[in-house]
Each structure stands twice: as structure tokens, then as C-alpha cells.
């Protein structure tokens, strides 16, 4: 699984998401940015920032 923690991009936010593919993590994160953080315009740099912070999730104790 791949993991993105919003707190790595938006300090203080506890939201996180897991998915099998980076593309799905990015999609969910963009949704989150729009609905929770009011980012109506998602720039390419934002996508890059999200991708740079996606990491392998070892906390679930299983492999994807
Ligand atoms: Zn957030």
C-alpha cells in the first residue's frame, strides 16, 4: 500500500489516505484539498508536492 499523510503538506492536519497506486492516492488527496482546505485550483506544483510525500505504508503489516 501507498500512504499519504496530509500533515506532511499541511501542518496540523491529521487526514491521511492509503491506496494501492500513487494515482489513487493523488486523486483522493486532491479531493481532500478541495473539500477541506479550500484549494479550488490544484496546480501542477501541488500534485508534485503530493507525489513527493507519498511513501510505502509499512504500518498496516501487509504488502499490497
Ligand atoms: Zn488535510
pLDDT of residue 62: 55
pLDDT of residue 60: 62
pLDDT of residue 58: 81
The 10 Å Cβ neighbour count of residue 37 is: 13
Residue spans of the domains in the chain: they are 2-56
pLDDT of residue 16: 98
pLDDT band at 61 (very low <50, low <70, confident <90, very high): low
C-alpha to C-alpha distance for 2 and 53, rounded to whole angstroms: 10
Q: What is the pLDDT of residues 3-56, one digit of tens each?
A: 999 999 999 999 999 999 999 999 999 999 999 999 999 999 999 999 999 999
pTM (2 d.p.): 0.87
Ligand 1 centre and the CA of 35: distance in Å? Answer: 9
Ligand 1 centre and the CA of 4: distance in Å? Answer: 10
Ligand 1 centre and the CA of 25: distance in Å? Answer: 13
DSSP line for the chain: -EEEEGGGTSTT---EEEESSHHHHHHHHHHHHHHHH---S--HHHHHHHHHH-EE--TTSS--
Amino acid at each position: 500500500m501507498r500512504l499519504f499523510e496530509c500533515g506532511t503538506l499541511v501542518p496540523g492536519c491529521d487526514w491521511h489516505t492509503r491506496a494501492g497506486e500513487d494515482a489513487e492516492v493523488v486523486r483522493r488527496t486532491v479531493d481532500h484539498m478541495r473539500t477541506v482546505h479550500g484549494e479550488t485550483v490544484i496546480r501542477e506544483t501541488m500534485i508534485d508536492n503530493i507525489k513527493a510525500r507519498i511513501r510505502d505504508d509499512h504500518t498496516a503489516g501487509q504488502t499490497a
